[in-house]
Amino acid sequence: MPFTEVAHDVWVSRQEWFDLNVSVVRGSAGLLVVDTHASALAARAVVEEVRALGAGEVVAVVNTHEHFDHTFGNGTFRAAYGDVPLHAHEVAAERTVTAGERIKAEYDEPENRDDPHRAEVQETEIVPADTTFSSAVALDLGDRYVELVHPGRGHTAGDLVVRVPDADVVLAGDLVEESAAPGFGADCYPMDWPLTLDVVLGLLTPASVVVPGHGAVVDREFVEIQRNDIGILAETIRDLATRGVPVDEALAGAEWPFPADGLARAVARGYEQLPRSQKRLPLV
């Protein structure tokens, strides 16, 4: 889809592949692009969409975390706009190449060899962010500041959100998902995620526009509901582990706020992250 203005000089393009959101924020100094899509080829189309806006030149790029669907267009934006800074949290930048190579290997698995996007993913050069921060930083776009905030671990260890204070907009990356259940991958932190979303909620007002990593634009109430559901998931994992339920029996041992068939990795990661004092050996 072409870019749609969701607040003053803040645009979002909802891409068909992965239902991914790419966002643009304009200041008098130029454009900030948030997330760059899943391949160099896909990012070329996004660059054309940005140019069609006629809103100015890209002066910086942000990756909300290291996953390939948010970073594999970095090189394309560099090719189109020169040596613009690529911003990310320090952990995300450090893990971008490893995460990207892992995805390329997955596309070589037999079940993925017929994927229509396989070749473009494999051919993409992985370009990690080169401008990093640990907690929070403000980017100067001339007549407006944009804040990058690392609220904590959740979808990954290096998640960030982008706050545009004057427009009351937060670009939340995959800490918030609208088009599917939250992404509980092999590198998620389900026990930290609820508290991380508490920090995000502290950045929101009742009127805030929230752009999730994937899906339709949402509001503060949606984030509250998703935070509570992830909180239920985390506390269910804690309860099962405390009662000595083995991890391989946990999915069948409780009711879950999300479809159970997508929670195997979330449960496994949750068990891994609990301290020994919160685990009980199974009764025999």
Read off the CATH number of the domain in which 55 is found.
Answer: 3.60.15.10
Taking only the tens place, the pLDDT of each residue in 210-260 is 999 999 999 999 999 999 999 999 999 999 999 999 999 999 999 999 999
State the total domains in the chain. Answer: 1
Q: Is residue 178 part of a domain?
A: yes
Per-residue pLDDT tens over the stretch 136-189: 999 999 999 999 999 999 999 999 999 999 999 999 999 999 998 999 999 999
Residue 120 to residue 45: CA distance in whole angstroms: 13
SS3 for 96? helix
Residues 41-79 pLDDT 10s: 999 999 999 999 999 999 999 999 999 999 999 999 999
Poorest-confidence range of 19-23, 212-216, 262-266, 280-284?
A: 280-284
pTM for this one? 0.95
Q: Establish if 283 belongs to a structural domain.
A: no
Q: Which domain holds residue 139?
A: 4-278
Note whether residue 128 is domain-resident. yes
Taking CA atoms, 279 is separated from 74, 173, 193, 245, in Å, by 42, 32, 20, 9
Task: Please indicate, yes or no, if residue 284 is contained in any of the structural domains.
Answer: no
Question: Does residue 163 fall inside a structural domain?
Answer: yes
- Give the burial class of 184: count Cβ atoms within 10 A of its Cβ; 0-12 exposed, 13-18 middle, 19 or more buried: buried
User: Which pLDDT value is given to residue 280?
Assistant: 67
Structure-derived torsion over alpha carbons of residues 146, 151, 154, 160, reported in degrees to the nearest 10: 20
Task: Give the pLDDT score at 239.
Answer: 95
